């Protein structure tokens, strides 16, 4: 059945939905986010989306009992989302206007009033990959992950505790901050760092880790600030990242006894700085694995003192802060700078949609593991096409250059 449910892994949500008030549980949010992948980014109106129970089971990677599905869908329909438009102006909208199950064949339609928040999104949307969402077993972790993804351009976000509790509709048992911190915030840190493409940064020490800054007003914790970056969750991605961006840089010292500094050559091979000797294959693989497991200790991750770090996190983004954040134009000074920027900030995003001259088929060009790919078919694209993308970027023709900047 050609419906896209089993093909697309990403969905796009307006920031309004990400910051809205709703109370879906873990199974319910998985179903909603899975069904949202039926929407094509070029759709201008909702359709009756039809798919089979097998399609949904493949998407969710689990078996579904018919009676349980009926209860879950009925529960979702009874849990609308409340969207704040502005002060004293809000909307309450159900997820679905219609849902039918007929002997394994399902048809659903999203409520038409969700169109501004799901269709033709050009700016301030949050795109997420289901493989990261589904891996987390806490619905609160998934909600916090989406909130952080909204601010991925900035790498940090301050969240108000009262708003989180209200928007997540947490039970009374979690309304006490000490319990909310353990069950929601700390669990979110573990889940996000373990399962997703984001890594919440430890702003404390290795001995006393601290993953978010708590701000009190006056003595009660009022807000928390997370600092985060791209998570190098895969060894191959990590190796590619080092080879692309950190060649001939000091990575780490092999041991205090030998005091030999490890580096990566422009050929992608590990070697010792003192004598330029390249490691043999087996030694290099063991070293790559050790570097990956201890990646937060690498010299390339040196950061400012804890005092400077916490001072920076204790403040809201200012006009000067946002102006200091690198923009696309900063990375157009050379092809290498442009390539590094795209690999670091737009991995697995569609950069440009081209057409096959012969078949007229769309080619969604993007980056995976540092290489150019046709994302639609998961096929590699020749390295030489970086130059073509660079020329398009200088003329502001790439997709990420079409979106408005995030506003505060």
| 8 Å CB contact between 262 and 254 | yes
| 8 Å CB contact between 106 and 57 | no
- When pLDDT is cut at 50, 70 and 90, the band that residue 331 belongs to is low
| 8 Å CB contact between 340 and 331 | yes
37-46, 178-187, 345-354: the lowest-pLDDT one: 345-354
Residue 346 has pLDDT above 50, yes or no: yes
Percent residues over pLDDT 90 in the chain:
49
Domain boundaries 1-123, CATH class: mainly alpha
pLDDT score recorded for residue 307? 36
Q: How confident is the model over 275-314, as pLDDT tens digits? A: 899 999 989 988 998 888 777 778 886 543 333 333 333 3
Residue 239 has pLDDT above 50, yes or no: yes
pLDDT score recorded for residue 240? 84
| 8 Å CB contact between 136 and 30 | no
Q: What is the DSSP string of 241-281?
A: HHHHH-TTS--EES-TTT-PEEEE-TTS-EEETTT-PBPPH
Domain with CATH 1.10.10.10 in the chain: 1-123
33-42, 82-91, 314-323, 382-391: the lowest-pLDDT one: 314-323
Of 25-29, 243-247, 297-301, highest mean pLDDT: 25-29
How many other C-beta atoms are found inside a 10 Å radius of the C-beta of residue 59? 23
Specify the residue for token string 């209860």: 71
């Amino acid at each position: 059945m050609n419906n896209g449910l089993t093909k697309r892994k990403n969905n796009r949500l307006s920031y309004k939905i990400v910051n809205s008030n709703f109370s879906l549980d873990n199974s319910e949010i998985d179903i909603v986010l899975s069904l949202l992948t039926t929407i094509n980014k070029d759709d201008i109106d909702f359709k009756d989306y039809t798919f089979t129970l097998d399609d949904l089971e493949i998407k969710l990677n689990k078996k579904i009992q018919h009676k349980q599905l009926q209860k879950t869908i009925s529960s979702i329909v009874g849990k609308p989302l409340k969207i704040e438009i502005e002060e004293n102006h809000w909307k309450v909208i159900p997820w679905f206007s219609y849902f039918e199950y007929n002997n394994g064949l399902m048809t659903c339609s999203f409520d038409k009033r969700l169109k501004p928040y799901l269709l033709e999104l050009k700016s301030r949307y949050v795109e997420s990959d289901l493989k990261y969402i589904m891996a987390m077993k806490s619905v609160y972790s998934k909600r916090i992950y989406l909130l952080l993804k909204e601010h991925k351009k900035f790498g940090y976000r301050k969240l108000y505790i009262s708003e989180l509790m209200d928007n997540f509709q947490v039970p009374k048992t979690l309304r006490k901050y000490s319990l909310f911190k353990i069950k929601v915030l700390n669990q979110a840190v573990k889940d996000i760092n373990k399962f997703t493409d984001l890594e919440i940064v430890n702003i404390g020490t290795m001995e006393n880790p601290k993953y978010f800054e708590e701000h009190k007003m006056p003595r009660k914790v009022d807000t928390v600030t997370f600092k985060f970056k791209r998570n190098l969750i895969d060894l191959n991605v990590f190796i590619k990242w080092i080879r692309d961006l950190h060649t001939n840089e000091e990575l780490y010292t092999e041991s205090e006894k030998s005091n030999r500094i490890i580096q990566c050559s422009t050929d992608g091979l590990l070697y010792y700085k003192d004598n330029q000797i390249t490691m043999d294959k087996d030694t290099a693989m063991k070293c790559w694995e050790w570097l990956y497991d201890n990646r937060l200790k690498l010299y390339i991750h040196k950061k400012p003192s804890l005092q400077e770090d916490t001072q920076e996190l204790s403040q809201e983004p200012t006009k000067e802060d946002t102006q200091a954040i690198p923009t696309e134009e900063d990375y157009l000074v050379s092809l290498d700078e442009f390539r590094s920027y795209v690999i670091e900030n737009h991995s697995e995003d569609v950069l440009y949609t081209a057409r096959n001259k012969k078949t007229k088929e769309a080619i969604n060009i993007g980056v995976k593991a540092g290489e150019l790919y046709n994302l639609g078919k998961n096929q590699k694209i020749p390295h030489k096409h970086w130059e073509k993308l660079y020329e398009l970027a200088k003329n502001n023709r790439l997709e990420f250059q079409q979106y408005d900047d995030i506003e505060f």
